A and B are shown apart, each in its own frame.
Chain A
Amino acid sequence: MSEAIQTAKSSKPIASRLSVGELMRSPAMGAFVGMVLVFCIFAAFGYHKNFISIVGFANWMNFASMIGIVAIPVGFLMVAGELDISVGAIMPASAMTLGILCGPYELPLGIGMLITFAMAAVIGCINGILVTRTQVPSFIVTLATLFAVGGLTLTLSVIFVNRPQVAYEAPELAKALLGDRYFGFRASVFWWILLSGILYFILHKSPWGNWIFAVGGDPESARNAGIPVNRLKISLFVLSAVCTAFAGMLQVAAFNSAQSATNFPLIFNTIIACVVGGVVLTGGFGTLIGIFLGTMTLGIVQQGIGYTDIDRNLSQLIIGIMLLAAVLMNGTFQKLATSWSTGKKED
């Protein structure tokens, strides 16, 4: 022990050591290494089927973008110590609302979008208020709203359009902005990147982001430090619902239809993307870049498997292993991150 410290002290070039350490302890490092690893494996097994091509790249990025737009705000909630699984119902509810309003009911798209966003915001608000007012864990609260919203969507769809789905083709400009493909990439990929940029600024640069970490780290201390904990959490639930609604709209624009069935895979996919991206489930820690990389990794595994001779069903196994590895790694990285700071100058 003391020997190790001695050598650490005697090695002089601290500046270069620090930058390497900085990089190593960067919480997104694990997610990056994981993604590169998964990419290389799939590139090797999928080479003969053109996994490495613009089309291959676009294929899994398109898939990832839909998850990514939802995973980032869900990740924010996880950093703040909460969970939101109601997104699985908010996405179809929003898609159906937009589809019904602008399809059979012929409202202008702009108005339909506004109403849809408002509806999602209300659901997010209900989630937030229930979680902050009652002491019920957010997992249970959003599980309840997941089923409530899911059931309501199905029922109302049948009432309004007699069917659990609806067709709607967006006007040309809207389709170009929200649904079309460019070089194989759907508009949702560009929206995902743009949203990531904005939310990166909020989480890591703005004072508001600092509050999110503080609330997840220790809610009592955060409250004592004057952070409006409840208001912050409600805003995060609203953010998550509104982003999910946007993803639902992108889906309608891309596929010219909306389905009312609850999107259960989305729930798991967003949580997996966050955890693989290094977000700590108990709150207080996470990075946007990590969530982004985690979503990409998930996209590669779920879509990239089609480019290989590996049995499709095995992608589930791979995801399971990946998730376990990520959770174990997150723990190690946390230890590394905290111990690095003292290991340097022990005395």
Chain B
Amino acid sequence: MNDAKTVLELRNVDKSFGPIDVLHKINLSVKAGEVLCLLGDNGAGKSTLIKTMAGVHAPTSGEILMDGKPVSFSGPKAAQEAGIACVHQFGGTFPLMSISRSFFAGVEPTKGWGPFKVFDRKKANEIAVHEVRNFGITRIDDGDRLVGGLSGGERQSLAIARAVYFGARVLILDEPTAALGVKQSAHVLRIVNEAKRRGLAVIFITHQVMHALAVGDHFAVLIRGAIAADFKQGEKTREEIADLMAGGESMADLEAKVGVQA
């Protein structure tokens, strides 16, 4: 229907933990170069939904398609190899490691031969600093600095830059701005836009309407595990979105009733 390619698609996905049904018949898709904002109240199932996409949970029923082909991930590692990267609120970086060492954790560049392969610090520093600066964090110029010395926003950005460098095509951000102040949040939103500009499909979870409106192309509101609304940028006003996020179903019902009577 559109020119951009759908990267990740969920069809009728259900997820239950034993007797507890958390997700019901989720249909959702995200395209390359698009930011999908996932909105919803606490406990609505947002985190469960993205964990299902990222291979942490397997769907109870339903299908996940990547580039139109059904996939099933054995774990987060498999999802990552397929190009789905998850950046959590605080995770993804190691506070007491240097920027470059944390950037390359698990995939260290080496030099030398045989058992004497050493971590190529110079190369790692160059790449890590270059990649992070390309995302607009010009304050970082030394790969030997500790991650713990970075601000929360910079850490998020570092994690995002890392995911992009290692070939992520779908970037999942679970409340990246939750712990951040205004300035730091703006920083992360800028990075999200940059990732989008580079053609990544971004899934962005937030409780803040302002942040959602600033970067979102496409919004999905989750209420008690079901998609209650799915709309494009400009199709709903900020007030409508806020009501959907805060009031949930009952508010929407109420609104509908008021609308009928009027």
Contacts and interface: CB of A to CB of B under 8 A. Distances in A.
Are A and B physically bound partners? yes
Contact of B94 (A201, A217, A280): A217
B41 interface: no
A277 to B, nearest CB: 15
Contacts of B32: none
Given A213-B101, A223-B76, A342 B92 contact: no
A53 B149 CA distance: 44
Contact of B149 (A210, A220, A338): A338
A342 B108 CA distance: 25
Given A210-B105, A214-B102, A224 B93 contact: no
Contact of A211 (B76, B80, B106, B141): B106
A226 B77 contact: yes
B24 interface: no
B77, B93, B96, most chain A CB atoms within 10 A: B96
Contacts of A285: 96
Range for the number of chain B residues in contact with chain A: 20 to 34
A342 B76 contact: no
Contact of A207 (B93, B94, B119): B119
Contacts of A211: 105-106
A334 interface: yes
B174 to A, nearest CB: 13
B91 A226 contact: no
Interface string A184-215: 00000000000000000100011101110110
Interface residues of A, number: 31
Given A207-B110, A222-B105, A284 B142 contact: no
A338 B148 contact: yes
Q: Which of B77, B95, B101, B148 has the most CB of A within 10 A?
A: B148
Interface string A211-246: 101100110111111110000000000000000000
Contacts of A206: 117-119
B94 A334 contact: no
Identify whether the interface residues of B are mostly helix, strand, loop, or mixed: loop
Contacts of A220: 91
A307 interface: no
A176 B82 CA distance: 57
Indicate the member of B77, B106, B149 with the most A CB atoms within 10 Å.
B106
Contacts of A217: 94-97, 102
A3 interface: no
Contact of A337 (B80, B92, B146): B146
Contacts of A340: 149
B119 A209 contact: yes
B34 to A, nearest CB: 24
A224 B96 contact: no
B258 interface: no
28 contacts: A207-B108, A207-B110, A207-B117, A210-B97, A211-B105, A211-B106, A213-B96, A213-B97, A214-B102, A214-B105, A217-B94, A217-B102, A218-B94, A220-B91, A221-B94, A222-B94, A222-B105, A222-B106, A223-B76, A223-B77, A224-B76, A280-B96, A284-B94, A285-B96, A337-B96, A340-B149, A341-B142, A341-B145
Interface of A: 201, 205-207, 209-211, 213-214, 217-218, 220-227, 280, 284-285, 334, 337-342, 345, 347
Given A224-B80, A284-B94, A342-B149, 14 more contacts: A201-B118, A207-B117, A210-B101, A210-B104, A210-B105, A214-B97, A214-B106, A217-B97, A221-B105, A222-B94, A224-B86, A227-B105, A341-B146, A341-B150
